[in-house]
A and B are shown apart, each in its own frame.
Chain A
């Protein structure tokens, strides 16, 4: 079921050699504002670690000195020093956390903001390809992981590497032959860790992607709950869930096996060499080449290094997961937002032919990810909607009506051809500008989590109360809105009250007509209304349409009657343009679509091929 998700994720991974360091370095711009604190925290951690080493020395000094000598003053002084060291240590521990707590929470939030902003601006085709769950897991789980890495992983990577380096220096100074014995396993350790890293990163990546897929299945089963309930249960969805969560578990177990392997190496290998050093040391002591005290000190130092070395396994895994999370994050962020053709935009915006209406010239549209060679959805559409005119767009299911409408507000970009609004090519305008000029109501009305008023006012910035009331009246929504618990202020959408399809559609229509847009694009705007409401909405809508340039997808004669003229879309082209009556009379396909009569076989007939664009004059 989720083959899409996996393949999306997989195809998004470029085939370059993956590097943990390179991946993590990409975080720098986000960490930069917090860099001072992050590195200070590492510094503080190093000092705190040294404090931890001072403590035993003070204790030893105190017991061996003042306590043994019965020096009361010395004991008090010792106690005071002990207390001070302890308090300093506590303060340093706190300081380290305090330094990074809020800045890193901020880094996480900033990154989340960035991905959200970016996603909002990525084209619709991107969203068609990427399941929400995958995006969501990148914006939440992956970012939390990154914060943890920055707060602990990075700090301790620095602290522990420093400790290990210093520790080895001390060991070599104490006894360089024994020290060398301990240095020996470093090379195989690094090699093994590198091998481990490569394998582990693949698995970590797989686990995170599977998590995304699982999130997608969960999301769909929740969004499609009505269908699932209607049919009892969705077995393939349940199976997909079971399979995916099982796969995720298996991947996690495999990760654990890899981890177990590297832990075995990290724990046992240094210890084996330490054992060798001990045996060698003991024989050196026996031979008098080494004092027992030096050997003890050597072993003690080596054992202090145990935790830093061991922690490397854990830190490596964390690094890896963080690198994977970074990759996943940047896969989304690296997807480019199509350029805004802003050059000379103001000039272009000013120019044009006022009163030219909407003009489509030879518009071809091909989904960017459609297989090469497949026929375009729209194949040379040429259409002119005159200013103030309402044009109905009629066509069989799948003829590309909805796609055509999506091209107007540039939800999709034309593959070739031009769309002009009052003579201005929409491609020369910024998307925001195009969308500001065109108001849309979609077939599936989506309301946002906001009040009714806010939802409607989204259609026009700065519209006033009177405008709002008018828009609600046009869409015949004023009645039911008044009956809502908080009237206009009632919260609707995902977080609010659920409204019926018809109610949502009426609000979506109000959103489209508010603020008297110059251009209006409606996709079957009355489909969810009952006949009576539909008749009332139609009457009110007629007034709005009287002085608006509109393109309306229509399925029924009643909707078509809102329009001055009708364009018939067939096989990705405009097959005929004319009034409803004319087309009914002259065009078999139109007749079939509108009345269901099918005395003629399907297909374009002679009259719809030629001369259809030189539309007959407008009849009222």
Chain B
């Protein structure tokens, strides 16, 4: 069922190539809107193209604002390590100087040791605590920043993008991929610093003891470096696959949970068990692969370390025999060399979380590299002040053409003026271009050629906020957000008072049913509008528009899920909503067409009939046919 994702990933490894040219990066071209069925689906990939090195740049851009804290954290940790490393010296001093002094009845050195020890003990504890707090602040701020970036970016991307990239993947990007960065940050900084401190400390000591020993130790890092590189290369692929695999699991999971009613009604449980199991097992295998990669790295690095230790000690023994090195240096050096490789395990874990985080960051940066196809203007202008006596705003499609990038015109070049305050109904078969026209006005897309003008101002020159003050589009979907009914209505105007909300609901005819809900306006609509019927949700959606009070409203009329009295009420409300506004309605109801001032009949992207409803009914065109069919359906 849903293995396409994984199949695709294994069949076309090139598609995931991080160095592939950024196919979707051209910022100014509209992406294919919904209709082009034949267009290649570039978003079907889990991994969106991102420029080279984008993930590292993303990581640094996240850390940059916290440079000062990072430095502070590093200093804290270094000092803490100094306090820890000082303890063996204190022991040595206590035995070498404290004991003889005490025998001479001199408490001084012992007291000094006691005080120093006290300081070291407290110091290492306190410094560690401070370090934890400082680094937690860095991590959490970075995560906050990243989550916010993904959230805002996802909100800014086009509907077309959302249609194709699928919600599950977006959710996966903002949860499980952020989680892997979190794991890196949690331990990463501390581990990295500790490893560096320990390497420098021991390396320095070895060089101090004997230059040859030091050089040999450094030399042993050559195979280790090669190993690290090979591990990174091999694991990068695996981690990418793993992140894709978990995304597939998440997609299937959310699809099932969100569609639980049909799942149950069609007894999909067993079939779903099977397909989920397949995705889950695929993830299990890849997950196991990454763990085995890690295992391989640990074994190989330990082997290198074992051979190096034995080799260096033997070589040292030869040199001692030849008189090139002192016995004491070898004695001390041998113990230190061994400790040189101690952090290997921790390094492997660090590398592991680093690779996993890089894979996730890569996917995230691919997402962030997507340009919203309707960019915000660089120097936005304000809409001209609306004369009080004139309702709505004038809309002009100025020689607009809209085509897919692949070719085919959806809307051949046309010019259309919608007078201020006029309600225009758009009718036509599915695929006639009605919704494309509406979406151009809502600026969900930009035209391929020409301009869409609102009171003479190009939509592209308006900021999103300004645009939405002028133009609001109500789509068919009657999705309710979790929260109260009032909050859902207030979506149209976040700062609305309860009175305004109620007034809007009343005008729409939704007040009665809302009052009947257990907590009235404060009723939680639960998950996806659980208890509120589709018809009622539509009323809520209308109340939103009323509250938003835009100059231009675009209504993709929900098809008739209301009973006739409900429809009447909505129709009355719609008259109120549409009054004193410029309105473009994708009409499915005769009643709606009848309240329009003007009807546009569309066919294959062209307006084929245009006129007042009565005029068109009287004619012999498509609309009069349609009108007759409608009439009949109402008997």
Binary contact readout A494-521 vs B (1 if CB under 8 angstroms, 0 otherwise): 1111101111000000010000000000
In the complex the two chains form, is B560's CB within 8 Å of A229's CB? no
Among B94-102, B387-395, B613-621, the stretch in contact with A? B94-102
Closest B residue to A589 by CB, please name it: B565
Residues of A within 8 A of B117 (CB): 271, 274-275, 278-279
In the complex the two chains form, is A275's CB within 8 Å of B114's CB? yes
In the complex the two chains form, is B124's CB within 8 Å of A267's CB? yes
Which A residues from 53 to 90 make CB contacts under 8 A with B?
55-56, 59-60, 62-64, 66-68, 70, 72, 75-76, 78-80, 82-83, 85-87, 89-90
In the complex the two chains form, is A292's CB within 8 Å of B99's CB? yes
Q: Is A33 an interface residue (CB 8 A)?
A: no
A511 to B141, CA, bound (A): 49
Closest A residue to B477 by CB, please name it: A226
Binary contact readout A366-392 vs B (1 if CB under 8 angstroms, 0 otherwise): 010011001000000000000000000
**Given A90-B303, A97-B291: A230 and B472 interface contact (C-beta under 8 Å):** yes
CB distance from B93 to the nearest CB of A (A): 10
In the complex the two chains form, is B490's CB within 8 Å of A130's CB? no
In the complex the two chains form, is B534's CB within 8 Å of A443's CB? yes
A237 to B118, CA, bound (A): 52
With an 8 Å Cβ cutoff, the count of chain B residues facing the other chain is 183
Contact of B128 among A267, A303, A558 (CB under 8 A): A267
**Given A1-B483, A4-B524, A534-B633: A231 and B468 interface contact (C-beta under 8 Å):** yes
In the complex the two chains form, is A396's CB within 8 Å of B563's CB? yes
CB distance from A400 to the nearest CB of B (A): 9
Closest B residue to A258 by CB, please name it: B132
Residues of B within 8 A of A418 (CB): none
A557 to B296, CA, bound (A): 71
Which B residues from 300 to 326 make CB contacts under 8 A with A?
302-303, 305-307, 309-310, 313-314, 316-318, 320-321
Q: Is A431 an interface residue (CB 8 A)?
A: yes
In the complex the two chains form, is A232's CB within 8 Å of B634's CB? no
Q: Is B404 an interface residue (CB 8 A)?
A: no
Among B21-29, B53-61, B154-162, B203-211, the stretch in contact with A? B154-162
Among A15-23, A106-114, A342-350, the stretch in contact with B? A106-114
A271 to B124, CA, bound (A): 9
In the complex the two chains form, is B253's CB within 8 Å of A136's CB? yes
**Given A56-B338, A282-B102: A448 and B126 interface contact (C-beta under 8 Å):** no
Q: Is A199 an interface residue (CB 8 A)?
A: no
A265 to B126, CA, bound (A): 9
Closest A residue to B444 by CB, please name it: A229
In the complex the two chains form, is A75's CB within 8 Å of B314's CB? yes
CB distance from A373 to the nearest CB of B (A): 10
Residues of B within 8 A of A240 (CB): 483
Residues of A within 8 A of B140 (CB): 249, 252-253, 256
Residues of A within 8 A of B132 (CB): 256, 259-260, 263
Q: Is A166 an interface residue (CB 8 A)?
A: no
In the complex the two chains form, is B255's CB within 8 Å of A222's CB? no
A274 to B121, CA, bound (A): 9
Among B62-70, B171-179, B227-235, B375-383, the stretch in contact with A? B171-179
Residues of B within 8 A of A278 (CB): 90-91, 94, 113, 117
CB distance from A436 to the nearest CB of B (A): 6
In the complex the two chains form, is A396's CB within 8 Å of B331's CB? no
A276 to B176, CA, bound (A): 48
Residues of B within 8 A of A132 (CB): 254, 257-258, 527
In the complex the two chains form, is B535's CB within 8 Å of A228's CB? no
In the complex the two chains form, is A264's CB within 8 Å of B559's CB? no
In the complex the two chains form, is A556's CB within 8 Å of B564's CB? yes
Q: Is B474 an interface residue (CB 8 A)?
A: yes
Residues of B within 8 A of A219 (CB): 167, 171, 254
**Given A1-B482, A454-B1: A286 and B267 interface contact (C-beta under 8 Å):** no
Contact of B483 among A70, A236, A253 (CB under 8 A): A236
In the complex the two chains form, is B633's CB within 8 Å of A411's CB? no
**Given A94-B295, A101-B288, A267-B124: A272 and B118 interface contact (C-beta under 8 Å):** yes
Residues of A within 8 A of B252 (CB): 449
CB distance from A348 to the nearest CB of B (A): 19
**Given A242-B148, A498-B163: A303 and B88 interface contact (C-beta under 8 Å):** yes
Contact of A268 among B126, B264, B533 (CB under 8 A): B126
Q: Is the interface of A mostly helix, strand, loop or mixed?
A: helix
Among B268-276, B405-413, B601-609, the stretch in contact with A? B268-276
A70 to B513, CA, bound (A): 99
Residues of B within 8 A of A90 (CB): 298-299, 302-303, 305-306
Residues of B within 8 A of A224 (CB): 477, 479, 481
**Given A72-B321, A120-B269, A458-B268: A271 and B475 interface contact (C-beta under 8 Å):** no
Binary contact readout B75-103 vs A (1 if CB under 8 angstroms, 0 otherwise): 00000000000011011001100110011
A226 to B124, CA, bound (A): 54
Contact of B260 among A68, A120, A367, A438 (CB under 8 A): A120
Closest B residue to A92 by CB, please name it: B302
In the complex the two chains form, is B141's CB within 8 Å of A86's CB? no
In the complex the two chains form, is A237's CB within 8 Å of B144's CB? no
Binary contact readout B337-363 vs A (1 if CB under 8 angstroms, 0 otherwise): 010000001000000000000000000
**10 A-B pairs with least C-beta separation:** A86-B306, A232-B468, A256-B136, A268-B125, A90-B302, A94-B299, A271-B121, A275-B117, A101-B291, A286-B102
Known: A91-B299, A370-B518. 17 other contacts (CB 8 A): A1-B483, A75-B314, A82-B310, A94-B295, A105-B284, A109-B280, A129-B527, A132-B257, A139-B253, A219-B171, A225-B155, A271-B121, A274-B121, A435-B265, A458-B268, A494-B254, A556-B560
Show 30 residue pairs from A and B whose CB-CB distance is below 8 angstroms, ordered by the A residue.
Answer: A2-B482, A63-B330, A63-B331, A63-B334, A64-B331, A67-B320, A67-B321, A67-B330, A101-B294, A106-B284, A117-B269, A136-B257, A140-B246, A140-B250, A222-B154, A225-B154, A225-B159, A231-B548, A232-B469, A245-B147, A245-B148, A272-B118, A274-B121, A275-B114, A299-B91, A397-B536, A398-B513, A535-B632, A555-B562, A557-B634
